C-alpha cells in the first residue's frame, strides 16, 4: 500500500482542495448557525442593535449638519462705518476688503439709499423727516468665500474691527456656532457610545461562538489528531462568525432604514421650515456596504479571537 | 521505521518513560503492552507529537521529530492512522462522513473520496451502513468505523490505543485480524493493549513496558 498524496490521483490540485474545504466549512457552519434559530436570532439582534443605534444617530446628525451648512454657508459680516465717514472712505474700505482672499464679495450700502428704504418700509416717514441728519452710517456687507467655517469668519471680523473706518462689526452667526458645537458634542457622544456598543457586540458574538466551540470540543480534538491543521479546525468557526456578522449587519440595515423612515416626517417638516428641500433619510448604498462589511468583519474578528484562545488553551492543556 | 532513542518523559512527580530505546522496522506489526501506568499512553502521545520527550530523540524514517514544530505537526500526523479505545467518532455525522474526514482534511477530490471511503467501509464490512449515524451502531461496529477512518487515507503507520478495550473476545479477535490484514499489505502497525490472551493468539512482536522502560522484547518464532 503506497502513501497517497492528494492531487496525484487525478487533476484535483491544491487550489481545488482549498476551495472544496472552504465550501464545506461555509455550508456546514451555516447549517449549524441556522440549526439553533433562537440563539442565532438573539445574536443577530444584539449585534444589529449595537450597530444600528450609533448608525442611526450619526445619520440624523449628518442630516442636521446638512441643514446648518446650507444655512450657515454664508454667515455674513456687517460692518457699520463711523457716522462721519464719507462715501470715499466707504469705497476705499470696500476696495480694500474685496481684495482679501477670504472675502467673496463686499457690498456697500449707501447711507442715503438705506435711509430711503427704511423710510419707505418702516412707515416712519414723519419721524424721519424731523431728523436733522441721516442717522444711518455706510454699511459694508462682507460675504466670506464659500465653505468658510466659523473660525475664518471670526478672524475676518477681527480684521475688520481693526480697521480705522469701521465703527462696529456684527457677525450674525452665533446661533450657528452654538448649533455646530452641539452637533460636535453629539458626534463625540455617539462615537464614544458607538465604540462601547461595538465592543459589546464583539463580546456577544465571541460568547455565542465560545459556547458553540465548547460544544464542538471533541470534534476539534479529533480533527487535530487526524492531522487537521489549526486553520482547518478554525475554519467552520470563522465562517460561523462571518454568518453572525453578516446576519447582524442585514438586520442592522433594516433597523436603520425603518428608523430613517420613522424620522423622515418630522425631519422634512423641519427642513421645510428652513426653506431646504426635503430629503429622504436613506441609507446610500455606500453606507449600506460599509455597514455590512463592518458587521461581517466584527463577526470574523470575534471568532478569530475566540478560536485562537481556544486552540492555545488546548495546546497548553 | 520508528526509532525511540533513549527517550525519557519526566513529569513533576514521576518518570513516565526512562531511557527507552526501541525500533519498529517498516512493515512490522507489534503489540505494545504493560500494566496501566507503565508508559504505553505516554509512548503513543510522544509518537503522535501530542507531547514532547524531556530527553532522547524519536525518529520516523530517519527524521527527528524534535524538528517537527508548529505547522509541520498536522502533515506529520496525517502519516498515521489512529484508532482510539473510545472510537472518537463524530456523532453528528454519518458513518460515511466520519470515514471521509481524514480525506477532507488532506484535500482529496469528492470522486476520490467516495471511492476510498467505500473501499475502507467494505474492508471493515460496513458498506451497507454508510448512511447510518454512529449512535445507531454497536460498539464493535463503531470501532470498525474508527478503523476504516484510520486506514482510509492509506497511512504509513497504523497506531491503535486499546482498540479492543470495550469489546468481547470474539469481536476483539475480529478487530485484531483486521489490523493484521492491513499489516499484510505493508502498513507498519503498533497496537497498545493489555489483553495478553488476545496477543498470544497472534505471532507478532510484543513490546512490554514496565514502569517506563522496556521489560522484554519477545519475538515469537
Q: What is the mean pLDDT of residues B174-192?
A: 92
Asked if A35 reaches chain B (Cβ–Cβ under 8 Å), the answer is: no
Spatial neighbors of A67 by CB under 8 A, at least 6 apart, are: A270, A271, A274, A276
Cα distance between residue B209 and residue A116, in whole Å: 119
Give me the pLDDT at residue A9, please.
44
Half-sphere exposure of A85 (CA within 13 A, CB side): 27
For residue range A41-94, list pLDDT tens digits in order: 988 998 898 888 888 877 777 777 776 666 655 567 888 888 888 888 888 888
Q: Where is pLDDT greater, at A273 or B168?
A: B168
* pLDDT winner (highest mean) among A14-18, A27-31, A179-183: A27-31
Spatial neighbors of A68 by CB under 8 A, at least 6 apart, are: A176, A179, A180, A183
Question: Which long-range contacts does A127-133 make (Cβ < 8 Å, 24+ apart)?
Answer: none
* Distances in whole angstroms, Cα of residue A207 to Cα of each of A40, A136, A237, A248, A271: 12, 73, 12, 15, 44
Domain range summary for chain A, segments of one domain joined by +? 24-70+178-316, 76-172
Q: Do B82 and A225 touch (CB under 8 A)?
A: yes
Instruction: Give the confidence band of A1 by pLDDT, cuts at 50, 70, 90.
Output: very low
Above 80 in pLDDT, residue A277? Answer: no
Which of A14, A219, A227 has its CB closest to that of B105? Answer: A227
Cα distance between residue B208 and residue B204, in whole Å: 13
Give me the pLDDT at residue B47, please.
95
Cα distance between residue A238 and residue B27, in whole Å: 41
Q: What is the mean pLDDT of residues A227-245?
A: 91
Q: B49 to chain A: nearest residue by CA?
A: A225
Q: Which of A11, A63, A106, A15 is nearest to A264 (CA)?
A: A63
Instruction: Give the confidence band of B79 by pLDDT, cuts at 50, 70, 90.
Output: very high
Backbone angles phi, psi at B23, to 5 degrees: -130, 130
Give me the pLDDT at residue A74, please.
55
Give me the pLDDT at residue A279, please.
67
Q: What is the mean pLDDT of residues A108-119?
A: 84
Instruction: Give the confidence band of B218 by pLDDT, cuts at 50, 70, 90.
Output: low
Which of B75, B112, B186 has its CB closest to that of A1? Answer: B186
* pLDDT winner (highest mean) among A70-79, A107-116, B1-10: B1-10
Q: Which of A136, A134, A77 is nearest to A107 (CA)?
A: A77
Q: What is the mean pLDDT of residues A200-209?
A: 83
Give me the pLDDT at residue B142, please.
93
Asked if A317 reaches chain B (Cβ–Cβ under 8 Å), the answer is: no
Give me the pLDDT at residue A2, please.
43
Contact (CB, 8 A) for B99 and B151: no
- What single-letter DSSP state applies at residue B202? S
Instruction: Give the confidence band of B114 by pLDDT, cuts at 50, 70, 90.
Output: very high
Q: A232 to chain B: nearest residue by CA?
A: B105
Q: Do A17 and B185 touch (CB under 8 A)?
A: no
Which of A4, A9, A232 has its CB closest to that of B105? Answer: A232
Cα distance between residue B77 and residue A106, in whole Å: 83
Give me the pLDDT at residue A109, please.
86
- Mean pLDDT, chain A, rounded, equals 82
Q: B149 to chain A: nearest residue by CA?
A: A226
**C-alpha grid cell, residue A2:** 503506497
Cα distance between residue A297 and residue A300, in whole Å: 5
Instruction: Give the confidence band of A247 by pLDDT, cuts at 50, 70, 90.
Output: very high
Contact (CB, 8 A) for B155 and A3: yes
Give me the pLDDT at residue A314, please.
83
Neighboring chain A residues of B153 at a CB cutoff of 8 Å = 4
Q: Where is pLDDT greater, at A193 or B30?
A: B30
Interface with B, mutate which of A15, A18, A226, A317 (most B CBs under 10 A): A226
Sheet holding B80-83, edge to edge: B80-83, B157-161, B188-192, B29-33, B205-210, B213-218
Burial B75-114 (b: 16+ CB within 10 A, else e): ebbbebbbbbbebbbbebbbbbbbbbbbbbbbbbbeebbe
Q: Which of B148, B27, B155, B14 is nearest to B81 (CA)?
A: B155
Above 70 in pLDDT, residue B15? Answer: yes
Which of A9, A14, A232 has its CB closest to that of B112? Answer: A9
Considering the four listed CATH numbers 3.40.50.300, 3.30.930.10, 2.40.128.20, 3.40.50.2300, the one that applies to the domain covering B1-79+157-162+188-221 is 3.40.50.300
From the CA atom positions of chain A, what is the Rg in Å?
33
Asked if A41 reaches chain B (Cβ–Cβ under 8 Å), the answer is: no
Give me the pLDDT at residue B128, please.
95
* pLDDT winner (highest mean) among A62-71, A132-141, A230-239: A230-239
Give me the pLDDT at residue A5, please.
47
Q: What is the mean pLDDT of residues A284-303?
A: 86
Asked if A2 reaches chain B (Cβ–Cβ under 8 Å), the answer is: yes
DSSP string covering B121-150:
HHHTT-GGGTTS-GGGS-HHHHHHHHHHHH
Q: How far is A45 from chain B (nearest CA, A)?
A: 28
E-state strands within chain A: 77-81, 103-109, 139-144, 166-171
* Whole-complex ipTM: 0.85
Backbone angles phi, psi at A117, to 5 degrees: -65, -40
Confidence (pTM):
0.70
* pLDDT winner (highest mean) among A129-133, A177-181, B89-93: B89-93
Contact (CB, 8 A) for A233 and A223: yes
Considering the four listed CATH numbers 3.30.70.3040, 3.30.70.260, 3.30.450.40, 3.10.290.10, the one that applies to the domain covering A76-172 is 3.30.70.3040
Instruction: Give the confidence band of A127 by pLDDT, cuts at 50, 70, 90.
Output: confident
Give me the pLDDT at residue A173, please.
66
Amino acid at each position: 500500500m503506497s502513501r497517497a498524496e492528494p492531487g496525484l490521483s487525478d487533476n484535483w490540485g491544491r487550489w481545488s482542495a482549498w476551495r472544496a474545504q472552504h465550501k464545506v466549512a461555509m455550508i456546514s457552519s451555516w447549517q449549524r448557525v441556522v440549526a439553533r434559530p433562537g440563539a442565532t436570532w438573539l445574536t443577530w439582534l444584539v449585534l444589529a442593535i449595537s450597530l444600528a443605534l450609533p448608525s442611526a444617530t450619526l445619520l440624523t446628525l449628518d442630516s442636521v449638519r446638512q441643514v446648518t451648512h446650507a444655512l450657515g454657508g454664508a454667515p455674513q459680516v456687517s460692518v457699520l462705518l463711523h457716522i462721519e465717514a464719507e462715501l470715499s472712505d466707504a469705497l476705499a474700505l470696500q476696495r480694500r476688503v474685496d481684495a482679501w482672499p477670504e472675502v467673496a464679495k463686499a457690498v456697500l450700502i449707501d447711507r442715503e439709499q438705506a435711509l430711503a428704504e427704511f423710510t419707505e418700509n418702516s412707515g416712519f416717514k414723519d419721524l424721519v423727516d424731523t431728523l436733522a441728519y441721516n442717522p444711518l452710517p455706510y454699511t459694508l456687507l462682507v460675504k466670506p468665500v464659500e465653505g468658510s467655517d466659523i473660525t475664518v469668519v471670526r478672524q475676518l471680523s477681527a480684521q475688520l474691527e481693526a480697521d480705522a473706518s469701521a465703527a462696529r462689526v456684527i457677525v450674525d452667526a452665533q446661533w450657528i456656532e452654538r448649533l455646530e458645537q452641539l452637533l460636535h458634542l453629539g458626534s463625540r457622544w455617539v462615537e464614544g457610545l458607538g465604540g462601547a456598543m461595538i465592543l459589546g457586540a464583539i463580546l456577544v458574538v465571541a460568547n455565542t461562538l465560545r459556547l458553540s466551540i465548547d460544544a464542538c470540543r471533541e470534534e476539534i480534538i479529533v480533527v487535530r489528531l487526524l492531522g487537521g491543521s489549526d486553520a482547518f479546525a478554525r475554519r467552520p468557526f470563522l465562517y460561523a462568525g462571518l454568518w453572525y456578522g453578516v446576519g447582524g449587519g442585514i438586520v442592522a440595515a433594516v433597523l436603520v432604514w425603518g428608523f430613517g423612515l420613522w424620522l423622515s416626517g418630522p425631519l422634512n417638516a423641519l427642513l421645510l421650515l428652513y426653506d431646504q428641500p426635503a430629503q429622504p433619510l436613506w441609507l446610500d448604498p455606500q453606507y449600506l456596504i460599509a455597514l455590512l462589511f463592518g458587521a461581517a468583519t466584527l463577526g470574523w474578528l470575534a471568532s478569530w479571537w475566540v478560536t485562537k484562545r481556544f486552540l492555545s488553551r488546548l495546546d497548553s492543556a | 521505521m520508528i526509532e525511540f532513542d533513549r527517550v525519557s518523559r519526566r513529569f513533576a512527580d514521576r518518570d513516565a518513560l526512562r531511557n527507552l530505546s526501541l525500533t519498529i522496522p517498516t512493515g512490522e506489526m507489534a503489540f505494545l503492552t504493560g500494566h496501566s501506568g507503565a508508559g504505553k499512553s505516554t509512548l503513543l502521545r510522544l509518537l503522535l507529537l501530542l507531547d514532547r520527550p524531556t530527553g532522547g530523540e524519536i525518529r520516523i524514517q530517519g527524521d527527528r521529530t524534535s524538528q517537527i514544530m508548529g505547522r509541520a505537526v498536522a502533515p506529520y500526523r496525517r502519516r498515521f492512522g489512529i484508532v482510539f479505545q473510545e472510537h472518537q467518532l463524530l456523532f453528528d455525522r454519518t458513518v460515511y462522513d466520519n470515514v471521509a474526514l481524514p480525506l477532507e482534511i488532506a484535500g482529496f477530490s469528492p470522486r476520490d473520496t467516495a471511492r476510498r471511503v467505500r473501499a475502507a467501509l467494505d474492508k471493515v464490512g460496513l458498506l451497507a451502513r454508510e448512511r447510518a449515524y454512529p449512535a445507531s451502531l454497536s460498539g464493535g461496529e463503531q470501532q470498525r468505523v474508527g478503523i476504516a477512518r484510520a486506514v482510509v487515507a492509506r497511512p504509513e503507520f497504523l497506531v491503535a490505543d486499546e482498540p479492543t478495550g470495550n469489546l468481547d473476545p470474539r469481536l476483539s479477535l475480529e478487530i485484531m485480524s483486521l489490523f493484521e490484514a492491513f499489516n499484510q499489505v505493508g502498513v507498519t502497525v503498533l497496537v497498545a493493549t493489555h489483553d495478553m490472551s488476545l496477543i498470544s493468539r497472534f505471532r507478532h512482536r510484543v513490546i512490554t513496558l514496565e514502569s517506563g522502560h522496556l521489560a522484554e522484547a519477545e519475538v515469537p518464532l
